Amino acid sequence: MSEIENELKRMIVDTLMLEDLKVEEIDNDAPLFGSGLGLDSIDALELALAISKRFGVRIVADDERNKEIFRTVGTLAAFISAETRRPQET
């Protein structure tokens, strides 16, 4: 899963234009919101769109799991990994 985590870190820096932040400075277990990276709901929407485009994983805005999915890079990577292994609905 570390490949997904590294790609997510790069996406966070690039998509959210966080030029002052280096990929290697992002801890997989640090909170993405609040006291961690300090992301907000707009950042989450932008990141969800980028994830959808890159991984083909749909993250629904009103999903009650979003708070847990977006908790850390690690939880986000675990969600993407699980969703990409699931059989796709037709």
pLDDT for 2-48, tens place per residue? 899 999 999 999 999 998 999 999 999 999 998 889 999 899 999 99
| Residue matched to tokens 């966080």 | 18
Check whether domain 2-85 has CATH 1.10.1200.10, yes or no: yes
pLDDT of residue 87: 66
Taking only the tens place, the pLDDT of each residue in 51-85 is 999 999 998 888 899 999 999 999 999 999 999 88
Provide the pLDDT for residue 75.
Answer: 97
The reported pTM is 0.88
Contacts of residue 69, defined as CB under 8 A and 6 or more positions apart, other chains included, come to 59, 63, 75, 76, 79
Question: Where do runs of H (alpha helix) occur along 16-72?
Answer: 41-55, 66-69
